[in-house]
Amino acid sequence: MTAVGFGAMPLSTSGRPDEAQGVKVIHSALDAGMTLIDTADVYCLDDNDIGHNERLVAKALAAWSGDRDSILVATKGGLTRPGGRWETDGRPAHIRAACERSLKALRVDTIDLYQFHAPDPAVPFADSVGAFAELRQEGKLRWVGLSNVSVNEIETAQGIVEVAAVQNRFSPFFHELPHDGVIKYCTDNKIGYLAYSPVGGGRLNKKLPGHPVVGPIAEAHSASTHAVVLAWAVARAPNVIVIPGARTVEHVLDSAGAAELELSPEELQAIEEGEFSTA
C-alpha cells in the first residue's frame, strides 16, 4: 500500500464536478500509483443520492487500464444523509442493508475494507461492530475498519472482530484530539491508520499556502505546502496512510508527490509545534 491514497469524497458532495471529471481525477490518482481509494455510501448530496461516490469509483475502476486487483477500495457504513445532514445509524439492520447496497454500487462480491463510519450514541458500540463481524464471516467483507474512534473503542471492537484499519482525522490543524494515542495504539497493534482530512479539509487547507512555518519548508524542498503537510503526517508512523481528497488532477498529482518528500527531524518538529488556527 502506498503511503498516499485518495479520498474520493469531494467528487460526490456539494460542489462536486461532473462525472467525466470525477472519473478523470480518479484515473489520475491510480495512474500516479495510489493504491488505496477511500469512499463511503454517504459521499453524496442526500439520502436520495446514496452510493454516488461508490458508483463513481466503480465506474472509474471498470474503465481503468491498470490492474484492478492492485487497488484496495475502502468504503464505509453507519451514517445517513437526511436532507443533506450527516447522521449516525449504527443499528445492525442498517449496517447490513448498507453493506448490501455498497456491494452493488461497487460491483463486487466482497468489499476490500468496510469501515464503521462513526459510533452511534443511540446504539451499543458492540452491537454495531457485531454486524461487521457477521458480514465478514459471511464473506462479504475482506477486512473490517473503524472510523472516528478512541483507543477504548478500538479495544472493544478487537474483542469482537479483527480490526485491520482505523480512520481518524489527522492534520496539523487537528493533531489527534479527541482521539489521543490512537496512532501509537494502531502502530503497536499492527493496525493501519488512515489519516482523513490530512490537509485540513475543504476550508482549512486554503490556509496552508503562505503559512509561516510550512511555507518556508515547502520552498526549501521546491514542493507545495500541501505536500509538506502530507509528508509530515506520513512520517508519524510506518502504518499511516494519508487520504487527501481533490477535485482536480493537478491537486491529485501534487499530493501523490508527497510520498517522495522527506522532511528533516527539525522540519517535522517545527510543523508539530507550529500554530494552525482553525478559525
Ligand X SMILES: NC(=O)c1ccc[n+]([C@@H]2O[C@H](COP(=O)([O-])OP(=O)(O)OC[C@H]3O[C@@H](n4cnc5c(N)ncnc54)[C@H](OP(=O)(O)O)[C@@H]3O)[C@@H](O)[C@H]2O)c1
CB of 137 to ligand X, least distance (A): 24
Contact flag: residue 22 with ligand X (CB under 6 A): no
* Interacting residues with ligand X between 28 and 67 (CB under 6 A): 38
Contact flag: residue 88 with ligand X (CB under 6 A): no
By beta-carbon proximity to ligand X, the closer residue of 17 and 92 is: 17
Contact flag: residue 201 with ligand X (CB under 6 A): yes
- Which residue is at the shortest CB distance from ligand X? 7
* Interacting residues with ligand X between 153 and 172 (CB under 6 A): 167
By beta-carbon proximity to ligand X, the closer residue of 123 and 228 is: 228
Contact flag: residue 255 with ligand X (CB under 6 A): yes
43 is catalytic: yes
CB of 255 to ligand X, least distance (A): 4
**Which of 154, 143, 158, 174 minimizes the C-alpha distance to 73?**
143
Contact flag: residue 261 with ligand X (CB under 6 A): no
DSSP the chain: --SB-EE-GGGTSTT---HHHHHHHHHHHHHTT--EEE--TT-SSSGGGTTHHHHHHHHHHHT-SS-GGG-EEEEEESEE-GGG--EE---HHHHHHHHHHHHHHHT-SSEEEEEE-S--TTS-HHHHHHHHHHHHHTTSEEEEEEES--HHHHHHHHTTS-EEEEEEE-SSSS-STTSTTHHHHHHHTT-EEEEESTT-HHHHGGG-TT-TTHHHHHHHTT--HHHHHHHHHHTT-TTEEE--B-SSHHHHHHHHGGGG----HHHHHHHHHS-----
Binding track over 107-146 against ligand X, x by CB under 6 A: ----------------------------------------
Contact flag: residue 200 with ligand X (CB under 6 A): yes
Contact flag: residue 16 with ligand X (CB under 6 A): no
Binding track over 212-251 against ligand X, x by CB under 6 A: ------------x-x----------------xxxxxx--x
Write out the catalytic residue numbers: 43
Question: Which positions touch ligand X (CB under 6 A)?
Answer: 7-10, 38, 147-148, 167, 196-202, 205, 224, 226, 243-248, 251, 254-255
